Structure 1
Amino acid sequence: MADDDKKTAGHGVEIKLEEVSKRYPGQKQAAVDSVTMTIPAGETVVLVGPSGSGKTTTMRMINRLIEPTSGKITIGGQDVLSLDADKLRREIGYSIQQAGLFPHMTVGDNVGMVPGMVGWDRKRIAERVDEMLDLVNLDPTEYRGRYPRQLSGGQQQRVGVARALAANPPVLLMDEPFGAVDPITRGVLQDELMRLQADLGKTIVFVTHDFDEAVKLGDRIAVLGERSKILQYDTPEAILTNPADDTVAGFVGAGAALKQLTLRRVREIEVGQVPTATVDEAPSVLRERLGTRRGAIGVVLDKRNRPLRWATAREAGSVSDLARAGRPVEDSVSRASTLQDALEAILTDDDGVAVVTGSRGEYVGVVDIDTVMNTIKALREENATDDADEPATAGSDTAGSGADAS
C-alpha cells in the first residue's frame, strides 16, 4: 500500500482479516474474537450489528487506532503491523459521526490537513481542496474560508468526507458517519457517498447499526453478533432473501420485499426527458420548447447545467428572468440512487416527477411514477420466474465467523 503507484492510483485495494481478536486487560471475554473476512478491492462492505457487538472495534483495528491483540490484517497484501502506525493512518481515509472537524481551522485547512502532513506543496494542496469540495457539491469559493460552526450538520459531514478523501487513499473507513443528522439529510449524504464511490472505486468499510442503510450502501454486508462473530457475510440481496438464521432475520425485519427496492438503482431504468433552458436564456425560449401541451413542465438549469427550478409554459411567460420562474427543484436523485429513493422523491413532488442528476449534480433527465412501477412489476415477475426455476437452499454458505468473499 505504501508504494507510490498505489498512493496515486486512488483505486481500492483488498483488505484481509485473519483470526483477528482484541482482548482488553481485566475482561474475561474478547471484545472481538477471531474474525476472518476478506473485503474485496473497490467494494463497500458494511459492518452491521447491535451496540456492543464490536463492529467499530473491528474497523478501527484496520488502521490501528485500536491495536489487535492477535491475528493478521493485510491491506493490499501488506501486513499493517509491519508499518508505522502514523504513516498507515495517513494513507487510510477516516470519516466519523459528527465529522470530527477541527473547530479552529477553516474548511480549507481541515480538508488540506492530511495532504500537508504527507508533504504536498501549497499549490497542490490548494488545488486538491477545491477539487474535493467540488466533488462533495460544496462551492469552494463559498465554503473553503468558513469555519465548521458556520456549517449545517450535513455540510460538516460533506467536509469530513472530503477531508478523508483528500490524500487519495485507497481505503476509506466510515464509522456511522451519517448517524447524527436528520433523516432527509442522511438520505442525501448516502446518495452522495454512492455517487462518489461509483466515480472513485475506493475500498470502503462502513459501520452502522441501521440495516436499511447497510442494504442501501453495501456491495456486501457482514451481520455481526457478539464479539463480532460473523453471522452472515453476503450481498444485500442474498441476506434479504435468505437470512442465515433467526438473528439475521431479525435484522432484516418486516418489509423485506419493500427493502429490495433499495437493491435497484436509477441507472438501471430508462430515464425520460423534459424541455430545459439555462438560467441565462430568455423565458420565451423555455416557453417555446414546452409548446402548448397541457401539463407540460420543464427544468431551468444553472450555468453548470444543474437543475434549479420547475416551470410550466405559463410560469415561464409570466417572468422576465428564468431564475424566478416556477418553483425550486427541492429534491432530486442521482443515477446511483435507489428505486426507493426515486419513489419517495416522486411521491413528494407536486407533479409526480423527480429530476435525475449525474456525478457532478448535472441534469441527466427525469423519472416518473409509471417508469418506477413498471420496473417493480418486471422485477417481481423476474423473481417469480427465478423462484420457480431454482431449488430451495438450506442456508447461506457464508454464515459463520470465518466468512470469506472471493
Structure 2
Amino acid sequence: MTDTIEQPTERGVSGAEITLEKVTKHYPNTKAPAVEAFSMTIPAGKIVVFVGPSGCGKTTTMRMINRMVEPTSGVITIGGQDALSLDADQLRRGIGYAIQQAGLFPHYTVAQNIAIVPGLLKWDRKRIDARVEEMMDLVGLDPGTFAGRLPRQLSGGQQQRVGVARALAADPPVLLMDEPFGAVDPITRGNLQDELLRLQSELGKTIVFVTHDFDEAVKLGDKIAVLGDRSSIQQYDTPDAILANPANDTVAGFVGAGASLKQLTLMRVRDVEFHRDDVMAIGDHERPAAVAERMASAGRTYALVLDERRRPQRWVHVRELAGRQSLDGVGKVVGDSVSPASTLQDALEAILTEGGRAVVTGNRGELLGTIDIDTVTSVIANVREEHASDGTGVTG
C-alpha cells in the first residue's frame, strides 16, 4: 500500500474510481447522524453532482472523501486504495479541492497560490514554474498578465479560475468542488461551468461537485445524486433519466415544472449545426482600408477581429473603418461567447445578450464559428413537436 493515490492508466481518463460503503458521520452530542450509511460508486473520469437542500449532509459527505471530515464508520476507497489507511495530509495533497469564493491566500500572488501543493510535494522550482504557467494557460489566464497579481486585483470569475488551477496543479486524479461558482454573477457562472466542462473533456478527472442548484447539476453532471436528510440517496442516475422519471416526490420537487423543457439543457452546442464559415474573420494587425475592401468584395457588413491566437476580440462594422489607421479599439467587444460544451440554454442567453448571434470558441478560446437565434429556435420547435407527438407535452 502506497501513501498517495496512484494515477489510473486508462487512456483518456486520469481520474480514479471512488467507492463509499456505509459511510456514517455522527457528531458528538447529537442524536441523529449528519450522514447515515451512505453507499455509492463514483465512476472514474466522470462528474458526479450531489444536489440537495441546505443541511442535508451533501458537503459533509464530500468532505469525508478527503477526510477534511473524518468518518465515524464505513469504508472509502479511491482507485482501489483504502483512503482511511493513508496519511491524511498526503491524501489531501493527492485530491484537488475547490470552494466557493476560491479560498485563495490573500497575500500570495496568483502564481504562489497555484504553486502551493506542488511545493508541498517538493517539486523542484523549474518544474513548479512550468506547471504554474501551464495551469494558467489551461484556465484562460495569461501568465504574463496575471501571475504576479494578488487575489484582490482579480474579478470573482478570475479568482475562481485560479482556484481551479490551484486544485489541479499537482495533477490529482480526484477533484472535489463545493459550490465553487455560487458567489459569482449568472453570466460568469455560466462561463465557469463551460470552462469546467472544457477542462474535463481534456483531463478526464473524477469530479465530485456539490450544489443546491438543480439546473447546474443537469448541465454539469454525468450522474446526479439527489440527496435527502442525512445524505439519503433519493435518486442516483443520469440527468436525462432523472428528468424523464423522477423517483419520488422529493426528486420531482427538484426537477420542478417544465421538466420536458429542461431537457433542452441536456443539448449542447456541439449537437447542432452551428455556422463554421459564415463569419469574416480578420487579424487585429490588418490595415482597415484593406479590410474594408475585402468586406465590400464579399458583401459583408460586419467582420470579427481576432488576436494572434485566433481568439475573438471585437465585431467591426464596415462604416467604422473609414479613416482609421489601425484596428486598435475599433468595434464592439465580444461579450458572452459559448463553447461546444455549452448548453443550448446558454447559447440562447448569449445570443440575446450579443444581439442575435453568439461566437463559438474552442479549448483555447480560438474561433470555431457562430450560432444564431434561428438555429436554437428551430431545435426548440423540433423538441416541442416530438413531445407533442408522444403525448408528453412541453410545459414551461
The answer to whether TM tops 0.5 is: yes
1:319 partnered with 2:338: no
Deviation string 1:348-394 (CA, Å, 9 cap, x unpaired) is 222x0000000111111000111112223334445566x479xxxxx
- In structure 2, C-alpha distance between the alignment counterparts of 1:147 and 1:29, rounded to whole Å: 43
Matches of 1:289 and 1:41, distance apart in 2: 51
Counterpart-to-counterpart distance in 1, 2:158 and 2:9? 27
Letter in 2 for 1:365: G
Q: CA deviation at 1:255?
A: 2.6
Shift of 1:7: 9.6
Distance in 2 between residues matched to 1:316 and 1:240, nearest whole Å: 50
Report the TM-score when normalising by structure 2.
Answer: 0.93
- Preserved contact between residue 154 and residue 185 of structure 1 (Cα < 8 Å): yes
8 Å contact kept, 2:53–2:228: yes
Q: Which amino acid aligns with 2:148?
A: G
Distance (Å, rounded) in 1 between the aligned partners of 2:127 and 2:135: 12
Partner in structure 1 of residue 348 of structure 2: 343
For 2:147 and 2:38, the matched residues in 1 are separated by: 41
1:362 equivalent among 362, 366, 378: 366
* Pairs within 5 Å for 1:5-404: 6=8, 11-272=14-275, 273=277, 274-291=279-296, 296-350=301-355, 352-382=356-386, 387=390
Tell whether the 8 Å contact from 2:7 to 2:173 is kept in structure 1 after alignment. Answer: no
Letter in 1 for 2:272: I
How big is each residue's C-alpha offset from its partner over 1:327-364, in whole Å with a ceiling of 9 and x where there is no partner?
Answer: 111111011111000011111222x0000000111111
Count how many residue pairs are aligned between Structure 1 and Structure 2: 387
Deviation of residue 321 (structure 1)? 1.7
Shift in Å, 1:252: 1.0
Specify every segment of 5 or more residues in structure 1 that has no aligned partner in the other structure, as ranges: 390-406
Q: Is the 8 A contact 1:15 1:75 kept in 2?
A: yes
Q: 1:11 to 1:317 in 2, by over 3 A?
A: farther
- In 2, distance between residues paired with 1:48 and 1:318? 56
Q: What residue ranges of structure 2 are gaps of 5+ in the alignment?
A: none
SS in 2 for 1:324: coil
Aligned to 1:67, the other structure's residue is in SS state coil
Cα distance in 2 between the residues matched to 1:19 and 1:162: 33
Whether contact under 8 Å (1:32, 1:54) holds in the other structure is: yes
Distance 1:200 1:230, change over 3 A: same
Which whole-Å CA distance do the structure 1 matches of 2:220 and 2:360 have between them?
19
Task: Report deviation, 1:283.
Answer: 2.1
- CA deviation map 1:268-309 (0-9, x unaligned): 111213110110112244334433676742210011110001
